[in-house]
Structure formats: structure tokens, C-alpha cells
Amino acid sequence: MAEPGSSTTRYGSQALDQLAERLNSTSDPRKRYEYVLWLAKKLPSMPRELQTEERKVKGCVSQVFIASELIDGRLQWHGDSDALITKGLLALLIKGLGDLTPAQVMSVDPGFIAATGLQASLTPSRANGFLNILRMMQQQATVLNESD
């Protein structure tokens, strides 16, 4: 079995590859949307004290917060949003980027977003927000990588 983020992955982790494949394999945009909403409902709430200005994702219409911590060299994420669809997109990224090293997160290909097929179901501002969440996660990974 390949290590997450190894050269055998397409987007930077096996989890991201599997999520993209799962979402893109359905031809019904509504089913993809429903899956994202299901992920939103499964995402644990983020403690209020972690919802600070420096953890707020810029460029999102809704309120989105993401926090990371490094445990045994692997990233763990906490996140929340006040909009269900955005929370689902966040949950998707948390699922895909969880338990990776900072270097692996930093090397994730943003093309993953297009590969999910979700853009057909998202407004341009939501699609842009999805990318901004990924960028924020990569920024946090960069900071943790430098401090490690």
C-alpha cells in the first residue's frame, strides 16, 4: 500500500484521490451535493475558542474557520462553518488532508477540486471559497512545517 502523498497518488493523498473518484463517478450532480451535505453533518463542531480571526478563511462569503495541529508529525484538523454546504466542503478537505505530513499537504494539487465534479453544483463564490479553504490549510501546513 502506498504512503499517503507518495508519487502513486494523483492529487497528493490517497484519501483525496478516492474522494475525487467517488464524487466524479456519479453523473448526478444532486448526489454529489447530497454527499457533501452528509459530510457536513458528520463534521464535529469546532470549539468556539479555536474560532479566531487568524483561523478564519479569507475570501469566503460564509464564516469558515480551520485549525491545525501537528501530532507525531501528522496534521490533525478542526473546522467549522456557518453554512452547511461550506461546512461540507471543509469536511471533505479535512477528510482528504487528515493524517498527512505538512509537506504532503503543501504539495496537494488544487486540480483535485475540479476533479470532484462539484463545481457544476457550486456557485462561483462557493467554488472560490473551496479553493480558499484549501489554500488556508496549505498555509497552516507551511507554518507547522517550518516550526517542526
Phi, psi (deg, nearest 5) at residue 102 = -55, -40
Query: 113-117: which pairs have CB atoms within 8 A and are 24 or more residues apart?
Result: 115/10, 115/11, 115/20, 115/24, 116/19, 116/20, 116/23, 116/24, 116/32, 116/92, 117/23, 117/24, 117/26, 117/29, 117/32
The grid coordinates listed for 134 are 484549501
pLDDT (tens place) for every residue of the chain, 148 residues total:
344 444 568 888 899 999 999 998 988 888 998 999 999 999 999 999 999 999 999 988 899 999 999 999 999 999 999 999 999 999 999 999 999 999 999 999 998 888 898 887 888 888 899 999 999 999 999 999 988 6
Residue located via cell numbers 507547522 = 144
92 has catalytic annotation: no
Report the distance separating Cα 125 and Cα 27, nearest Å. Answer: 23
- Which CATH number does the domain 14-147 belong to among 3.30.70.920, 3.90.1010.10, 3.40.50.620, 3.30.530.20? 3.90.1010.10
- The amino acid occupying position 129 is G
User: What is the reported pTM?
Assistant: 0.90
Which position among 60, 64, 106, 122 bears the catalytic label? 60
